Structure 1
């Protein structure tokens, strides 16, 4: 029986309540600036008290904001208030000094008032377009804990460096079912263990995407729904594992909302940072490793490099599954000893990570299922694999690579188990990540599903698939998936 996903109506209400994502101080400063801009048009008797109140509210809220850290979205609000303040206050000062108040004629004052209001309105519009992301409350029965580990594979050299003794190291973040923490317990920061790490990663992601870093300066401020190192849930038995690889240049936290939702339903999610590939990887010793993967402009060479990187990632995914098994057996540090069921493990990934997941499934039969989130298969020699597979794809349009669906279909048909390809209307490539929570809702960028519906659809479809393949729960999987898009099913023995 499929678990209940949050209803679309609930999500729409949440999105409306979230509004422009402004703090109380920012809202007070905004209201003060707006009132200052329109005070000139109030009845004469109302102008003095309203102006004094608005000026006081603005100053008392703007001052602590500058101390606590002013977001760039508030700069036009400050500009609008600074422009309106002298014209709103000067008549009061002149009257108090016994001099006649001078007021410009209405047709001269109107353009200035309009300019102040427009400037002030730009602030909440910018805050709405580039908010501090608010992570949705997971819908499962468990609270969610998280911890970050670093593992080194003694059997694999690091091919990205010339040092012969350098071994392949990955940073892994776990999200797991946890005991409920007391109210007020500090939640985990998004993008990093510390504020400094979060800002380092945020700046690196912005550079990788070609965006000015200040546009997304709210992202490292975000807190998730997980509690660092929370005690593991007492109930629930042994939890299936889901190993995740991010997109090219992506980071381990890029699918945090999805990982928290899965963990709340009784899964342990292990997401990787791939050094020299992820935008930034902060190691335990404080070193930061940036990406060395970039486009050469030569399609053939870029495809070769993508296939090589996917192969390295596939090996990383298998290594992490080995480490999770050691963790369960007590061979590595952690409170999950005896609680991880690595015999029920899925390998997943987004974009290039999805390609790596498909390749890892073919190479490592320990994985019992595979999920590809809009990833173009990169295995240079596709061969049959035995796991059931789910591929979620963006809406296919004129701009989609014409080779994508035929190549994906070819790979899915090689499975000796049932495969599913679900194309989600309104989805874009970044729909399958946390990006809709903090980027402008531009359809070409994050799709048209909205900030909450994107997460809901991806969680509902992947949970249905995992419950069916790893937990063998009864139900109509094809029916559950087709409710969210255009489904194609590939069954073993079908004509090829």
Structure 2
């Protein structure tokens, strides 16, 4: 159910071939370039035919790619071909002019050929390391719709600006069960409503983590499985809601694979952009707000800052739940009116968003369940939780913050409802978001679970937890969770 199905990107030839991360034209250009290099080493009779065929294929590919947009991963391929071109064409041109063909000694030509092949080979490797992400096919019975809303809280000033009239505004993306769209329906972009927004957010994310923007230029090209403004699924059933807060500098779409999977199973996911915290937030009026919040690297300072950051985020989450209730009651005209079951609501988050979810649940009992995706709890008062909680954590190593697990364990032990901590072997901090789909599989950053297993694990464990806590399905939750890692269950009243 989680097999990746190739889909067109932007309706262009940047379609991704499963496992290779290259388009058909890109795949065609690579053997064309290799053939130009190899032609010099073929028998004399075969050289002209191979050179002409390879040159034609490469020229056609380069022309079309230049029109639709050449990805940087193809530059070494084209460079290697360009370096090999003179030696490949020279014998043909000399024959046409009647001049005797000249060939360099093999021991002189061999280093150049090897260098060209090496250059060409870096193209597929780079495309594999930094692909256009291809999202897992949602496995539920519903198609998935998505749209973006913007809400301003008139009662809460914006503390990140000096303007006393400025009020806190959040941008929220909704993924919801939808009717099946026509086969040709345009799929939603990954990082934004428009190409400009997607590239703005991609560039901001790259700057936030210190990467050159061109390395991840495939990310804003990606299309998801959702359709913008698709009609809500038929019937009169009401859908539980799941709110999501991203990591520090993260954005509302950072867990799209997870959100689409939940929506396909009948949940409405509402993911927040927190202005001045998210890497970039594009508002309805076109303004872009970039992050002001950043980690200092000093654990003690970050602890104090984190308390304030999570307090703002927790207030955002409660405000959005209120707005969803108003939307469901029809106070604002909306296709989801009457379809949201805000009486069954979960609050979730990744990293600091997970800590914010814990904080929001402490102060807002309307949340019925909590999911913390490798997030550090910041609340200094240690007020108890009263909702079932699932905490997914990365594999614990000597580099793990020594305060993290003790603090998290204390929170879970003092919960008045049953809590679960699942430590996932082979997981790293970014395992719990979409990053494994488009970043190089470096174990220390993304873990060792792979591009397919990482999103599957997050979706399978959280979906089982939500079905048990919000839908009260008698699933063997502990058995499901245990299949993915080391599970600890904390029952109310057992604080040992």
Q: Deviations over 1:210-247 (max 9, x none)?
A: 11111101100000100000000004710000000000
Query: Which residue in the other structure is 2:406 paired with?
Result: 406
**Matched residue SS, 1:249:** coil
Query: Which residue in the other structure is 1:326 paired with?
Result: 326
Q: CA deviation at 1:371?
A: 0.1
Query: Which residue in the other structure is 2:369 paired with?
Result: 369
Q: CA deviation at 1:300?
A: 2.4
Q: CA deviation at 1:165?
A: 1.0
Task: Verify the 8 A CA contact 1:393 1:424 in the aligned structure 2.
Answer: yes
Query: Which residue in the other structure is 2:52 paired with?
Result: 52
Q: Deviations over 1:381-437 (max 9, x none)?
A: 111121000000001111111111110000011211100000011110000000000
Question: What is the distance in 2 between the residues matched to 1:481 and 1:332?
Answer: 39
Q: CA deviation at 1:106?
A: 1.4
**Matched residue SS, 2:269:** strand
Q: CA deviation at 1:301?
A: 2.3
Query: Which residue in the other structure is 2:106 paired with?
Result: 106
Q: CA deviation at 1:479?
A: 0.8
Query: Which residue in the other structure is 1:213 paired with?
Result: 213
The number of residues matched between the two structures is: 488
Query: Which residue in the other structure is 2:115 paired with?
Result: 115
Q: Does 1:283 pair with 2:252?
A: no
Q: Does 1:454 pair with 2:454?
A: yes
Q: CA deviation at 1:298?
A: 3.9
Root mean square deviation of aligned Cα: 1.5
**Matched residue SS, 1:241:** strand
Question: What is the distance in 2 between the residues matched to 1:109 and 1:58?
Answer: 22
Q: TM-score, normalised by structure 1?
A: 0.96
**Matched residue SS, 1:349:** strand
Task: Verify the 8 A CA contact 2:362 2:384 in the aligned structure 1.
Answer: yes
Q: Does 1:359 pair with 2:356?
A: no
Moved more, 293-302 or 455-464: 293-302
Cα pair distance change 1:12/1:228, threshold 3 Å: closer
Moved more, 39-48 or 417-426: 39-48
- Structure 1: state its 5+ residue gaps: 1-5
Query: Which residue in the other structure is 1:29 paired with?
Result: 29
**Matched residue SS, 2:305:** helix
Task: Verify the 8 A CA contact 1:12 1:452 in the aligned structure 2.
Answer: no
Q: CA deviation at 1:42?
A: 1.5
Task: Verify the 8 A CA contact 1:395 1:428 in the aligned structure 2.
Answer: yes
Question: What is the distance in 1 between the residues matched to 2:336 and 2:379?
Answer: 33
Cα pair distance change 1:349/1:198, threshold 3 Å: same
Query: Which residue in the other structure is 2:132 paired with?
Result: 132
Cα pair distance change 1:335/1:12, threshold 3 Å: closer
**Matched residue SS, 1:18:** coil
Task: Verify the 8 A CA contact 1:236 1:266 in the aligned structure 2.
Answer: no
Query: Which residue in the other structure is 1:468 paired with?
Result: 468
Question: What is the distance in 2 between the residues matched to 1:44 and 1:298?
Answer: 67
Query: Which residue in the other structure is 1:227 paired with?
Result: 227
Task: Verify the 8 A CA contact 2:37 2:117 in the aligned structure 1.
Answer: yes
Query: Which residue in the other structure is 2:13 paired with?
Result: none
Query: Which residue in the other structure is 2:387 paired with?
Result: 387
| 1:333-352 matches, cutoff 5 A | 333-352=333-352
Q: CA deviation at 1:333?
A: 3.4
Q: CA deviation at 1:44?
A: 1.6
- Structure 2: state its 5+ residue gaps: 8-15
Query: Which residue in the other structure is 1:3 paired with?
Result: none
Question: What is the distance in 1 between the residues matched to 2:334 and 2:396?
Answer: 43
Task: Verify the 8 A CA contact 1:377 1:407 in the aligned structure 2.
Answer: yes
Q: CA deviation at 1:12?
A: 12
